[in-house]
Amino acid sequence: MESSQGTVSQFTSNTIEVGTEQRIFNAALEVFSRKGKDGARMQEIADCAGINRALLHYYFRSKNKLYEAVFAHGFEQFINGLSQSLRSERSFESSLRTFVHGYMDYLCEHQDMARLMITECLSGGPVLESYLATAIAKREKLPGFLMEDRIRQAIEVGEIREVDSEHAMLTIVSACLFPFVALPTVRLFQPKAATDFEEFIAERKQHIVELILSGLRIP
């Protein structure tokens, strides 16, 4: 139980010499994110990590502990990702572009984590909610809040038209995040999402920024 505490925070995306604990960690994220906490099987995680089932219990005491560890790490990463880049004062257009691109870049790199949090949400999300609740206490850390403040500020200065900043923020997040949630389905409708994912994402970023900017422009 000590071993997980000590090393979790030092995970890197280094390709050389990936340790057992991290392989377990990655595999767990992958499986949990697709099957949910209950649906996930320890055997599948072990197979995915290329090790024995018993090792899962050696590094993380139980399935519950493993899930908690995976979730906590991903959540931390999720919050800290965007916050810095949003603080600098620039035009609203520049802020929006920064947010959309940064958010979708994160989602591309951490699709597992996105699925995991959505799965949490769907199940009523007691774990996610407790994490969010404490995060909301320190309001300034959440990228979503930063961007929403930016919207309000832009309205005051007359940079964009008057809209409900909370709904606008929700719409922006939805437009960025939902395609990842529904990816298997999206692929059926938009073949490019299957054949050339990078280009699909690039197009999507541009579409969202343009649509929102145009939608918030003062008539």
CB of 62 to a second copy, least distance (A): 17
166: contact with a second copy by CB under 8 A: yes
Stretch that binds a second copy, among 8-16, 54-62, 67-75, 170-178 (CB under 8 A): 170-178
CB of 15 to a second copy, least distance (A): 26
Q: Which residue has the tokens 């961007």?
A: 147
* Binds a second copy (CB under 8 A): choice among 72, 108, 182, 202: 182
1: contact with DNA by CB under 7 A: yes
Partner whose binding site includes residue 164, from a second copy, DNA, none (CB under 5 to 8 Å by kind)? a second copy
What does the longest C-alpha to C-alpha distance in the chain come to? Answer: 64
Q: Is 47 helix (H, G, I), strand (E, B) or coil?
A: helix
User: Among residue numbers 55 through 74, which ones bind DNA (CB under 7 A)?
Assistant: 55, 57-58, 61-64
Q: How far apart (Å, rounded) are the C-alpha atoms in residues 100 and 147?
A: 10
Query: For residue 203, which of 211, 109, 83 has the smallest C-alpha distance?
Result: 211
CB-based burial label for 145 (10 Å; 0-12, 13-18, 19+): middle
- Written as six digits, the tokens of 214 are 């145009």
Amino acid identity of residue 121, one-letter, is C
Evaluated on CA atoms 134, 140, 143, 144, the torsion sign reads positive
**CB contact at 8 A, 45 and 70:** no
* Binds a second copy (CB under 8 A): choice among 72, 108, 202, 211: 211
Stretch that binds DNA, among 36-44, 77-85, 155-163, 179-187 (CB under 7 A): 36-44
141: contact with DNA by CB under 7 A: no
User: Among residue numbers 110 through 129, which ones bind a second copy (CB under 8 A)?
Assistant: 115, 118-119, 121-125, 128-129
Which residues here bind DNA, judged by CB under 7 A? 1, 3, 20, 40-43, 51-55, 57-58, 61-64
